[in-house]
Amino acid sequence: MRAPLFLLFLVIGLLPMILQRFVMNRSFQQTQIDGRVIEVQNQCLITSDRLTRAEYLLSPGRDALLNKELDTIADIFNGRIVIVDQNFRIVKDTFKLAEGKINVSEPVMRCFQGENSMLREDEKQYFAVTAPIYDNTADRNIVGVLLTIASTENILSNVDSVEEKARFFTIVAFLMLVIAGALLASLLVRPFDHLQASLDRMAEGSMGENVSENTYRETKKISEAIQKTKTKLQTIDQSREEFVANVSHELKTPITSIRVLADSLMSMEEAPVELYREFMSDISDEIDRESKIVDDLLSMVKMDQSVAELNVSQVDINALVQQILKRLGPIADKRNVELIYESIREVKADVDETKLSLAISNLVENAIKYNVDNGWVRVTLDADHKYFYIRVADSGIGIPEDKQEHVFERFYRVDKARSRETGGTGLGLAITKNVVLMHYGAIRLLSKEGEGSTFTVRIPLTYIY
């Protein structure tokens, strides 16, 4: 970014400088020459008027003073004055080269015809102006022509010297522009350099520092985005650590119980068979628990891996829900919980049958588990043109408001002891939410402590790949 900015400044700075020099040079030279032409023309008219009044052409050699004056004027203009009489004969030449010769040049001829002309030869660095000389009669006949040739050489050399000075200033200005451009470019880019340095430090592992570069709106926005990403990364990191700690803890708990049970059996001499049986049954329960945790973990890890693993097909959702309720019926019966199924319409949708079945089972199982004896669980299936909705409502213990946002987290349990009693792993709702999200759906919870909970799942009827 620095180099393009620097170049941009140079171009922006140089362009007007070059244009100005080009235009100024041209016009300066032009005005200088134009000024000199007007000056010579005026002088030429004044002199021709004097020559007329002095009747110079009657005897050109006589008026020595006038001749001297003509020489002086020619010198001043660094030029030459030539006077031509009626017969086109040169009667006066300040260079003394052409006296007596004939001059029928175009400007002279045109002047005799009453037309004041000017001939300009920029290449040859001179110009020529003419002025008529009249006789002193009332008719004012043109009896001669005053031809003044002036050199522009000294003007051009003046222009050259001015140009040389201008060139010097241009070089100085250019150097200043280069320095200013480089400074400005690096100044403008500096906030981005700071950001880059912060990012480099973050990449090296220093996550502690805050990234805040508020010089420009853009850098402020980038800083905020970096800060957000950093917080997210930190949260992910933290939750990963927590997850590993939780997994280890969860896996260890049944093993510890098994060990305690086995140790106490072993420490007893000649324990009765009933006690053995009871302890073995407890050990078997703990093994079941362990295996459930492992199963849940495996299904969760699988779901985390990739969405592409969804095995989508058209599924009769009514049949699916009925099947789940049938399977869970015996568990509900144990606590005399009534399972009610309400199907508002037939629903067929593109879903992964196994995964969705697992997700809905978790919800219904929870509704039974966290219910009261003789309670009820109502499962409602409905659909509109875009989505189908499965609502699982129960008359159970409900979830306190401040805990509701956490229940979808892995290993989160509102009441650890109760959940353990009922064989919960704390992974059920996390798995359900994952499945719903994989189907581009949403899950919502409404609950009041002591009154019951309602989980509503919304999933699109057609799966968009």
Looking at residue 337, what DSSP letter applies?
A: P
- Spatial separation of the C-alpha atoms in residues 150 and 77, rounded to whole Å: 6
Beta strands in 353-451 (DSSP E): 376-383, 387-394, 442-448
Among 80, 413, 439, 458, binds ligand ADP (CB under 6 A): 413
Q: Which of 415, 456, 461, 463 binds ligand ADP (CB under 6 A)?
A: 415
Residue with smaller CB distance to ligand ADP, 136 or 374:
374
CA distance 116 to 119: 10
Among 84, 149, 351, 407, binds ligand ADP (CB under 6 A): 407
| Closest by CA position to 195, among listed 174, 215, 177, 176 | 215
Block residue for tokens 């362009």:
15
Q: How many CA atoms lie within 13 A of 52 on its CB side?
A: 21
129 sits near ligand ADP (criterion: CB under 6 A) = no
Does 198 interact with ligand ADP (rule: CB under 6 A)? no
Stretch of 126-134, 175-183, 251-259, 418-426 lying at the interface with ligand ADP (CB under 6 A): 418-426
Nearer to ligand ADP, 120 or 420 (CB): 420
Phi/psi of residue 3, nearest 5 degrees? -65, -50
Q: Is 77 in the site for ligand ADP (CB under 6 A)?
A: no
The number of beta carbons lying within 10 Å of the beta carbon of residue 207 is 12
Q: Name residue, tokens 């699988």.
A: 302
| Near ligand ADP by CB under 6 A: residue from 366, 381, 387, 436 | 366
CB of 212 to ligand ADP, least distance (A): 39
**From the list 41, 47, 362, 434, which residue makes contact with ligand ADP (rule: CB under 6 A)?**
362
Among 103, 152, 198, 453, binds ligand ADP (CB under 6 A): 453
Q: What are the phi and psi torsion angles at 350 (to 5°)?
A: -85, 105
CB nearer to ligand ADP: give 156 or 247.
Answer: 247
Q: Decide if residue 414 touches ligand ADP (CB under 6 A).
A: yes
As to burial, measured by CB atoms within 10 angstroms (0-12 exposed, 13-18 middle, 19+ buried), residue 370 is: buried
Separation CA 107–CA 226 (nearest Å): 83
In angstroms, what is the minimal distance from the CB of 395 to ligand ADP?
A: 10
Q: How far is the CB of 250 from ligand ADP (least distance, A)?
A: 10
Residues at the interface with ligand ADP (CB under 6 A) = 362, 366-367, 370, 394, 396-399, 407, 412-415, 419, 424-430, 453
